[in-house]
Amino acid sequence: MVIRLLCQHHLFADTEIHELIFNPEVHKLLKQHGEDIPGNFQSKQGKGTFLFWYLPVGNGRRRQLWPKDKWLVGSDDYRVELNPQAVAAELKNGRLIPGSFLSLLLLSEYYGSSVWAALVRALI
């Protein structure tokens, strides 16, 4: 459901979720203020991931991704450019999986809690 919502309503539209995923300035703020948000990453401890997980083909173990310039980069050679076309393609082919933070944030916008949406608005 989260992947469908992202692809149909946020990757190619001017929404707060789009800004969260693609705006480098919002990434800086999220890295600065997002460390202790439940379900989000803990970069100092090497836990979690930044917005998405990477799932290698033929390997059921997800891998962390971290932002670097206009890319999400994994610990191996995997990288995906942070643009709507690349992210949509990787979501559709199953190589990207939304992280808990992004999933909960997106679902809360549609199904009730304005707390998560207020957080994104505060970041942007």
- What is the per-residue burial (b if ≥16 Cβ within 10 Å, else e) of 64-85? bbbbeeeebbbeeebebebebe
Which range of residues forms the domain containing residue 92? 2-123
Instruction: Supply the pTM of this predicted model.
Output: 0.83
pLDDT, residue 77, reads 86
Encode pLDDT of 19-42 as tens digits.
999 999 988 888 888 776 766 787
pLDDT, residue 120, reads 63
Q: How many domains does the chain fold into?
A: 1
Q: Is the pLDDT of residue 86 over 90?
A: yes
Whole-number Å distance between alpha carbons of 36 and 77? 28
